[in-house]
């Protein structure tokens, strides 16, 4: 398996522009997570999905952020309009969970976002 | 207050030294994870623990559920161990939700 695939690896945009980050989870995983990492706050959970359904979006900073998972193999995180304070590394991760045991969390390589 | 606290924040060691990174948490958990992030950003899961101890090569992770504490040990440290080590917990009764420490930045000097 290729692992969790994120694109793009780097994104540089101007304030006010729309940004779309993409993620392909590991096949068979039923949980998908979007995280944001900054120097000040470390890793923060933005939103997670179970079986393509958003379960907890309380970490999404504001209405400018939205996430979708139209099918089991694809998710997007969109920022519209983007602001300089959105500059961070955005990670997607996936895992497979059962009642009896929990699995490792598998991360994508991240998208480094710079909003100028 | 952060649910997961790590110490130290930064650590510099000489090659060959024994290293310990600590993690304390304040919530009920179903498992604790140790992650490694190298310069360049990729995050790798090292261990998942719900009790006792696990060993992988020169890395050892322990957890004390009663004390809500875990340690990550690196024996015979090497410059390639230089990375940020992140402790994360998955909480009971909240589905598969993870909380992260702010990480420990380790530099091993040759």
Mean pLDDT of B74-103: 86
Predicted local distance difference test score (pLDDT) of residue B49: 87
Cβ-based burial of B100 (10 A; exposed 0-12, middle 13-18, buried ≥19): buried
Mean pLDDT of A38-46: 86
Mean pLDDT of A44-60: 90
Chain B within 8 Å of A105 (Cβ-Cβ)?
Answer: yes
Side-chain half-sphere CA neighbours of B66 within 13 A: 0
- The alpha-carbon gap from B47 to the nearest alpha carbon of chain A, in Å, equals 8
Q: What is the DSSP string of B25-78?
A: E-S-EEEEEEEEE-TT--EEEEEEESSEEEEETTEEEEEETTTTEEEEEESS--
To the nearest whole number, what is the mean pLDDT of chain A? 90
pLDDT confidence bin for A100, thresholds 50/70/90: very low
Mean pLDDT of B23-29: 90
Predicted local distance difference test score (pLDDT) of residue A1: 62
Chain B within 8 Å of A43 (Cβ-Cβ)?
Answer: yes
Report CA B69 to chain centroid distance, whole Å: 11
* Residues 6 or more apart whose Cβ sits within 8 Å of residue A2: none
* Residues 6 or more apart whose Cβ sits within 8 Å of residue B21: B6, B7, B8, B11, B71, B72, B73, B85, B87, B104, B106
DSSP letter at A26? P
Predicted local distance difference test score (pLDDT) of residue A113: 97
Mean pLDDT of B39-59: 88
pLDDT confidence bin for B104, thresholds 50/70/90: very high
Pair B43, A107: CB distance under 8 Å: yes
The residue written with tokens 């380790």 in the block is B106
Predicted local distance difference test score (pLDDT) of residue A95: 85
Chain B within 8 Å of A33 (Cβ-Cβ)?
Answer: yes
Strand order in the sheet with B52-56: B4-7, B19-25, B69-74, B59-64, B52-56
Cα–Cα distance between A106 and A92 in angstroms, integer? 9
Predicted local distance difference test score (pLDDT) of residue A101: 56
Chain B within 8 Å of A17 (Cβ-Cβ)?
Answer: no
CB atoms A110 and B43 under 8 Å: yes
pLDDT confidence bin for B93, thresholds 50/70/90: low
Predicted local distance difference test score (pLDDT) of residue A103: 59
Phi, psi of A86 (to 5 degrees): -80, -10
Predicted local distance difference test score (pLDDT) of residue B95: 56
Cβ-based burial of A100 (10 A; exposed 0-12, middle 13-18, buried ≥19): exposed
Candidates A53, A28, A106; CA nearest to B98 is: A106
Cα–Cα distance between A114 and A18 in angstroms, integer? 12
């Amino acid at each position: 398996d290729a692992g969790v695939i994120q694109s793009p690896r780097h994104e540089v945009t101007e304030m006010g522009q729309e940004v779309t980050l993409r993620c392909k989870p590991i096949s068979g995983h039923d949980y998908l997570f979007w995280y944001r990492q900054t120097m000040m706050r470390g890793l923060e959970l933005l939103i997670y999905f179970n079986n393509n359904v958003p379960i907890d979006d309380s970490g999404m900073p504001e209405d400018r952020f939205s996430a979708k998972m139209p099918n089991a193999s694809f998710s997007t995180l969109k920022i519209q309009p983007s602001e300089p304070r959105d500059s961070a590394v955005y990670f997607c991760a996936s895992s497979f969970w059962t009642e009896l045991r929990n699995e490792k969390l598998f991360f994508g390589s991240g998208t480094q976002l710079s909003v100028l | 207050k952060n649910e997961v606290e790590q110490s130290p924040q930064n650590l510099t060691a000489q090659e060959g030294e024994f290293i310990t990174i600590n993690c304390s948490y304040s919530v009920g958990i179903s498992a604790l994870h140790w992650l490694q992030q190298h310069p360049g950003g990729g995050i790798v899961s090292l261990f998942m623990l719900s009790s006792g101890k696990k060993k992988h090569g020169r890395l050892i992770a322990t957890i004390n559920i009663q004390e809500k504490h875990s340690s990550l040990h690196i024996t015979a440290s090497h410059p390639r161990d230089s990375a940020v080590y992140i402790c994360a917990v998955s909480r009971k009764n909240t589905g598969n939700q993870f909380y992260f420490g702010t990480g420990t930045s380790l530099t091993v000097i040759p």
